[in-house]
């Protein structure tokens, strides 16, 4: 008798799987499946892999991040994947004093030690305590089951601030905080989503911190490099990667899934759709989804990221960290993003929340002039830039916002219960399907691993739960 015959029978994995989206989530799922012997084809809309992780070469061999950049110790799955892909992290440089232009009297910016804004400390302490209380009350694995979920989901963060924040400094700082933390306009997110996001990311203190927190490190060479390494592993495991091929339709019968792109049709026993919710919802499904992937109040996360390149990080010689927080735009915050080699100097600016929409609507010349003028007011020692890069994530057609989708009033109650539910032979991944570290790289990795594990456990028919009305015969071409 063979050893195999003695082994209790486990369902075999699907023999073939299509993965839609070559961001971190899709590639994580694809590699996991391919390395378990599944034939995997990844269909990616862009001509590059990485999605919201994108690298920029600011000088020969010197890379920075135009998209996702930071990670912390609690991002354990991401760290494990980086190590498995032979990539290192580098600490985020934050030595020096901060600049704050928060009050009218600050003029062009006041310099202060540390990162705590020079506003009323009691008012800010109270604000943070209230946010922590909200986050602590959320059910992290299923926010829609939080006691009082319906009320919290009906209220926007702006409504909440209007009712709860009496001190002008708390009112001033709250939208800046939400913009920086979640790329959110408080009018666009529900209180439930805000509280969940803070909880899911490890709590407000962790999310907000550099040393010891979620911004402690960066990926050496850029976060996109992880996706490039994963793509290489996929090909090495016999997988196929087709870029420039957006999925238009996902159709399934009882026996297989067909994904249609402008170039043709692909068939497999299962599929993983690993794209942001607004884009997942734009794909046509047959049979149709019982619940959409995005609702009418689901919004694009709003951030424009600017990278201003100078020969050297000159602010360091003046005792400044490059960090700034500003009440007026376009640059609501800046940070030193100089590559670990020490040059060129890169000052990265974030335009977030409602300001991102206003700024994104300007002409390119106006955008550049406004950003440079503000950077010079904050850091008068800046020389003429040698590079200026702007990534308008709000209007990137294959991202539709960043850092992550914003769940508006009613979204969690409507979408939450089916966020990770299989649709017949189709699984959903992507950072917005992860209740752990939602919106972050770590969430993307965890979602990809979950989708792959689910398929590997589901057996050859791959149908975790039958999609209603699956035709028993293959669909017509």
87 binds ligand FAD (CB under 6 A): no
CA dihedral 18, 22, 25, 30 (to 10 degrees): 40
Interface with ligand FAD by CB under 6 A: which range of 51-59, 162-170, 365-373, 455-463? 51-59
53 is a site residue for ligand FAD (CB under 6 A)? yes
**11: CB partners within 8 A, 6+ apart:** 457, 458, 459, 460
Q: How far is CA 338 from CA 129, 210, 245, 304, 314, in A?
A: 34, 15, 34, 19, 11
Q: Is residue 62 a contact partner of residue 341, using CB atoms and an 8 Å limit?
A: yes
The residue sitting closest to ligand FAD, measured at its beta carbon, is 23
Question: Among 173-181, 286-294, 375-383, 442-450, which window interacts with ligand FAD (CB under 6 A)?
Answer: 442-450
Using CB under 6 A as the binding rule, whether residue 219 contacts ligand FAD is answered as: no
Examine residue 55 and tell whether it contacts ligand FAD (CB under 6 A).
no
Residues numbered 296 to 315 that lie near ligand FAD (CB under 6 A) are: 303, 305
Annotated binding-site residue? 210: no
Q: Is residue 440 a contact point for ligand FAD (CB under 6 A)?
A: yes
Q: Is 45 annotated for ligand binding?
A: yes
User: Which of the 8 DSSP states describes residue 314?
Assistant: G
- Of all helices (H) and strands (E), which one includes residue 151? helix 149-154
The count of other CB atoms within 10 Å of the CB of residue 50 is 25
Helix or strand (DSSP H, E) at 335: strand 333-336
Closer to ligand FAD by CB, 23 or 408: give it.
23
- Does residue number 19 form part of the binding site for ligand FAD (CB under 6 A)? no
Give the one residue of 19, 69, 257, 346 binding ligand FAD; rule: CB under 6 A. Answer: 69
Should residue 135 be labelled a site residue for ligand FAD when binding is judged by CB under 6 A? no
Taking CB under 6 A as the criterion, the residue among 13, 19, 22, 184 binding ligand FAD is 22
What whole-number distance in Å separates Cα of residue 270 and Cα of residue 264?
Answer: 17
- Pairing, β 217-219 against β 257-261: unpaired
Q: Cβ 455 to ligand FAD, closest distance in Å?
A: 17
Residue 230 beta carbon to ligand FAD: minimum distance, rounded to whole angstroms: 11
Answer yes or no whether residue 422 interacts with ligand FAD by CB under 6 A.
no
32 known member of a binding site: no
The span from the CA of 402 to the CA of 407, in Å, is 12
> For residues 343-372, which are near ligand FAD according to CB under 6 A?
none
Q: Which is nearer to ligand FAD, 152 or 404 (CB)?
A: 404
Tokens of residue 63, six digits = 């890379």
127 or 275, CB closer to ligand FAD? 275
Q: Which is nearer to ligand FAD, 53 or 414 (CB)?
A: 53
Q: Of 165 and 274, which has the nearer Cβ to ligand FAD?
A: 274
| CA–CA dist 28, 137 (Å, integer) | 32
Cα–Cα distance for residue pair 355/185, rounded to 1 Å: 9
350 annotated as belonging to a binding site for a ligand: yes
Residues sharing a CB contact under 8 Å with residue 13, sequence separation 6 or more, in sequence order = 33, 36, 37, 38, 455, 456, 458, 459, 460
Distance CA 32, CA 274 (A): 14
Strand partners, 65: 55
Exposed / middle / buried, residue 189 (Cβ in 10 Å: 0-12, 13-18, 19+): buried
- 159: tokens are 């409504």
Q: Which residues contact 373 (CB under 8 A, 6 or more apart)?
A: none
Which residue, 185 or 442, has its beta carbon nearer to ligand FAD? 442
- Binding-site size for ligand FAD (CB under 6 A) equals 42
> Contact region for ligand FAD (CB under 6 A) — 38-46, 119-127, 286-294, 459-467?
38-46
What are 371's two structure tokens?
A: 């950003």
Among 221, 408, 430, 464, interactor with ligand FAD by CB under 6 A:
430
Question: Looking at beta carbons only, is 283 or 371 nearer to ligand FAD?
Answer: 283
392 near ligand FAD, rule: CB under 6 A? no
Applying CB under 6 A, which part among 7-15, 272-280, 351-359, 370-378 lies near ligand FAD? 272-280
Q: Contact between 202 and ligand FAD (CB under 6 A)?
A: no
Residue 254 near residue 471 (C-beta atoms within 8 A): yes
398 binds ligand FAD (CB under 6 A): yes
Q: Which stretches of the chain bind ligand FAD, using CB under 6 A?
A: 20-26, 43-46, 51-53, 67-71, 246-247, 274-276, 279, 283, 303, 305, 393, 398-399, 402-404, 430-431, 439-444
Residue numbers belonging to the annotated binding site for substrate: 350
Residue numbers belonging to the annotated binding site for FAD: 44-45, 432
Residue numbers belonging to the annotated binding site: 44-45, 350, 432
């Amino acid at each position: 008798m063979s050893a195999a015959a003695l082994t209790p029978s486990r369902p075999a994995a699907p023999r073939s799987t299509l993965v839609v989206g070559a961001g971190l989530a899709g590639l994580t799922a694809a590699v996991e499946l391919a390395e378990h012997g599944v034939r995997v084809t990844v269909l990616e809309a862009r001509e590059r892999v990485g999605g919201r992780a994108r690298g920029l070469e600011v000088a020969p061999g010197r890379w920075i991040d135009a998209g996702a950049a930071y990670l912390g110790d609690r991002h354990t799955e991401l760290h494990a994947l980086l190590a498995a892909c032979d990539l290192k992290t580098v600490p985020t440089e934050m030595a020096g004093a901060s600049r704050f232009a928060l009050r009218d009297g600050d003029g062009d910016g006041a310099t202060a030690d540390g990162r705590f804004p020079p506003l009323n400390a009691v008012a800010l302490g109270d604000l943070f305590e209230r946010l922590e209380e909200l986050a602590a009350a959320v059910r992290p694995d299923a926010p829609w089951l939080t006691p009082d979920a319906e009320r919290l989901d009906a209220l926007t963060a702006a409504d909440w601030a209007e009712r709860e924040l009496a001190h002008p400094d708390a009112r001033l700082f709250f939208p800046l905080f939400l913009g920086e933390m979640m790329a959110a306009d408080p009018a666009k997110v529900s209180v439930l989503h805000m509280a969940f996001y803070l909880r899911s990311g490890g709590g407000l203190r962790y999310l907000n911190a550099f040393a010891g927190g979620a911004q402690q490190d960066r990926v050496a060479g850029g976060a996109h490099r992880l996706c490039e390494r994963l793509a290489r592993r996929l090909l090495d495991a016999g997988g196929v990667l087709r870029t420039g091929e957006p999925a238009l339709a996902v159709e399934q019968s009882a026996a297989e899934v067909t994904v249609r792109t402008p170039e043709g049709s692909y068939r497999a026993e299962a599929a993983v759709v690993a794209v942001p919710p607004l884009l997942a919802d734009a794909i046509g499904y047959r049979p149709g989804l019982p619940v959409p992937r995005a609702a009418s109040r689901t919004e694009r996360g709003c951030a424009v990221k600017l990278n201003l390149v100078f020969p050297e990080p000159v602010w360091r010689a003046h005792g400044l960290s490059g960090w700034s927080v500003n009440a007026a735009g376009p640059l609501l915050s800046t940070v030193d993003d100089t590559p670990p080699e020490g040059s060129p100097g890169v000052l990265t600016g974030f335009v977030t929340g409602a300001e991102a929409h206003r700024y994104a609507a300007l002409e390119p010349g106006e955008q550049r002039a406004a950003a440079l003028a503000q950077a010079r007011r904050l850091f008068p020692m800046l020389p003429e830039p040698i590079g200026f890069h702007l990534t308008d994530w709000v209007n990137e057609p294959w991202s539709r916002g960043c850092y992550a989708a914003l769940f508006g009033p009613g979204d969690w109650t409507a979408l939450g219960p089916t966020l990770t539910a299989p649709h017949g032979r189709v699984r959903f991944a992507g950072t917005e399907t992860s209740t752990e570290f939602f919106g972050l790289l770590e969430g993307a990795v965890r979602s990809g691993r979950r989708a792959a594990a689910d398929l590997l456990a589901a057996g050859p028919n791959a149908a975790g739960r039958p999609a209603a009305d699956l035709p028993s015969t293959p669909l017509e071409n």
